[in-house]
Amino acid sequence: MTVDVHQIQLGNAVFEGENNAYLLDGDVTTLIDVGIATAETRAELEAELTTAGVSISSIDQILLTHWHADHTGLAGEIQAASGATVRAHADDADIIATGTDSTKRHEMRRQRLEEWGVPAAKQDELVSFLDRFGGIGGEAVDINPVTDGETISAGDIELTVMHLPGHTAGHVGYQYENQSNQFAFVGDVILPEYTPNIGGADLRVESPIKTYLNSLDRLSRAECEYVWPGHRERITDPASRVNAIRTHHIERTQRLYDVLTECDTADVWRVSAALFGELETIHILHGPGEAFAHLMCLVEAGIVEHVEKDTKAETTQKKQGQQYQLVDPESANNIEIETFLSETKYWNSGIKKYEYGTPGYWTNRHRTPYWNCWWRSYIHECHQGSIAPDRWGCGCNIWC
Residue 137 or residue 230: which is nearer to Zn ion going by CB? 230
Which residues on adjacent β-strands are paired with residue 235?
A: 227
Three-class secondary structure of residue 87 per DSSP: strand
The smaller minimum CB distance to Zn ion, of residues 16 and 338, is found at: 16
Is 172 in contact with 164 (CB distance < 8 Å)? yes
Q: How far is the first Cα of the chain from the last one, in angstroms, to the nearest whole number? A: 42
Closest CB to Zn ion among 188 and 217? 188
Min CB(167)–Zn ion separation in Å: 5
Looking at the Cβ atoms of 71 and 87, the one nearer to Zn ion is 71
Considering the complex, what minimum distance in angstroms separates the CB of residue 65 from Zn ion?
A: 8
Please tell me the total number of residues recorded for the chain in this structure. Answer: 400
What is the helix (H) or strand (E) element at residue 10, kind and residue range? strand 6-10
Gap between the Cα atoms of 82 and 358, Å rounded: 45
CB of 197 to Zn ion, least distance (A): 7
Residues near Zn ion (CB under 5 A): 68, 70, 188, 230
Give me the least distance between CB of 69 and Zn ion, in Å please.
9
Nearest to Zn ion of 18, 237 (CB atom):
18
Nearer to Zn ion, 203 or 326 (CB): 203
Contact 197, 189 (CB under 8 A): no
> What is the closest distance, in whole angstroms, from the C-beta atom of residue 119 to Zn ion in the complex?
26
Nearest to 64 by CA among 44, 37, 35, 40: 35
Q: How far is the CB of 191 from Zn ion (least distance, A)?
A: 8
Nearest distance in Å: CB 171, Zn ion: 8
User: Would you list the DSSP string of 21-46?
Assistant: EEEE-SSB-EEE----S-HHHHHHHH
Amino acid at residue number 3: V
User: Long-range pairs for 333-340 at CB < 8 Å and ≥24 separation?
Assistant: 333/258, 333/261, 335/257, 335/303, 336/254, 337/250, 337/253, 337/254, 337/257, 337/298, 337/303, 338/250, 338/254, 338/399, 340/301, 340/303
Measured from the CB atom, the residue of 232 and 255 that comes closer to Zn ion is 232
Handedness of CA 24, 30, 32, 37 (dihedral sign): positive
